[in-house]
Chains A and B, each alone.
Chain A
Amino acid sequence: MGNLLEHVGIEKERVHFSWISSAEATKFVDVVKKITEKVRALGPNKKLKKQYN
C-alpha cells in the first residue's frame, strides 16, 4: 500500500502503518507523536486534494 503511494509521488513520511492493541495506550501516543512530527516537517499536503469548483 505504502509502496505504491510512494511510487506515485506521495511522500513516504506521510503514510504510516502501525499495529497497536487497544491496551497499548502509550504506544499509541508515541506513534501519533512521531507521525505528527514527521508530517508537520513536510508541511500541508497538496496532492490528491480535489478542487471543487
Chain B
Amino acid sequence: MHTYTEKIQNLAKDVLKQGKAEMVIGFKQGTIPMAANPFVAKNENDADNLIWSSTCGLNLANYLPGIKKCEGKIGIIAKGCDSRNIVTHIVENKIDREKLYIIGLPCTGMVDKKQIALLFDDEITQFSEEGNTLIVKSETKEEKINKQEYLRSNCKTCTHRNPVIYDELVSDLVEEQIIEDQFADVKKIEAMSSEEKWDFFDKLTEDCIRCYACRNACPLCYCPTCFVDESGPQWVGKGQNTDDIKTFHYLRAYHCAGRCTDCGACEEACPMDIKVRNFTRKLNKDSLELFNWEAGLDISQRPPLDTYQPDDPDDFIM
C-alpha cells in the first residue's frame, strides 16, 4: 500500500466528520491492475475506500464543474497539476475558492502504464509499489522496476509536483525537480522542415478514433457544447476524414493555450496511445517564452490571453 493511502483516508474522515467538506473527491482501487477509479467519498465509511498510487494519473479537477448538488464545501485530493487546474477553474470563474476544501498531495510522479505494459508479452496481473520500486507481475514473469525510469513523460519534466493551493497537506512538501531543458521534445519538432512536421503529425493522429477521451479527461474542456458537436454551423466534419481529425486536434490545442498545466490526463485517457501533448506542449513553450507564463500558479493572475500589456510580443504583425 502506498504510504499516502492511510493518510488520505484519515484526513478525509476528519474532513467529513468535522463538516469541513460535504464530500471528498479522490480515487478508489480499480478493478484491474494499474487502474484507479475516481470516486467521491460522502461519509466516513466511504473514506475507507480512498487510495493513492502512482496510477492515479487522471486530473480530479476535471470533476469539479460537474458537481451540482453540494450545499457545503467540496473536498478534493489534489496533486501538483490538479491544484493548478483548480487555480485555473477559480481564475476562470468555474468555481469559488470558498467552495473548496483542498487536500494537497505532494506528488512524486505518475507511471506510464503503457510503457510498463510493453515489458510484458502477456497481460499484467498484479501491480504494487514500495517506495520507488514498482513490482509488476504477469502469469509468466515478475519485474521489479525503478519508478523514476517509468514516469509519464509529463511527470519527467514536471517542476510543480507540490500543490500550489491547499487547505491541508497529505505530507511534507517534496523537492521540486530541476529540469535542464524542459522543452527538448518540442525543440526536436521545431527543428524539422514543414514537410517533416506535417508527416509527423499525420502519423501521430492516424489511429485517432475520435472518442474524445483526450478532450473529456481535460479539466480545461468544460464548454456546454464543444465546437466539434455544433451542428449550425458545423465547424468540423464528423467522419474519419484525416483533415477533420487533425482539425479537431489543432482546435482542441488552441483552446488550451495559456491554460494547459501539462497534467497528462489527455494522454493517460487516450485508448489509442496518441501523444496528444505534442500539440499543447508547443503552446506551453510559447506561453513561457513569450509571456513568462505557466498556467495555474496564482489565483490573482489573469492568463496572458485574456489580458493586454503594452509590451506583449508583436513581432508577428507585419
Contact = CB atoms under 8 A, between A and B. Distances in A.
Interface of A: 1-12, 16-19, 31, 34, 47-51
Nearest to A15: B316
B32 interface: no
A16 B317 CA distance: 7
Contacts, number: 58
A50 B254 contact: no
A48 B204 CA distance: 15
Give the dominant DSSP class at B's interface.
helix
Interface residues of B, number: 28
22 contacts: A2-B316, A3-B283, A3-B286, A4-B254, A4-B279, A8-B246, A9-B194, A9-B196, A9-B198, A9-B200, A9-B201, A10-B194, A12-B194, A16-B318, A17-B316, A18-B317, A34-B318, A47-B198, A48-B246, A48-B247, A50-B243, A51-B243
B221 interface: no
A1 to B, nearest CB: 7
A1 B317 CA distance: 12
Given A4-B253, A4-B279, A4-B283, A18 B190 contact: no
B235 interface: no
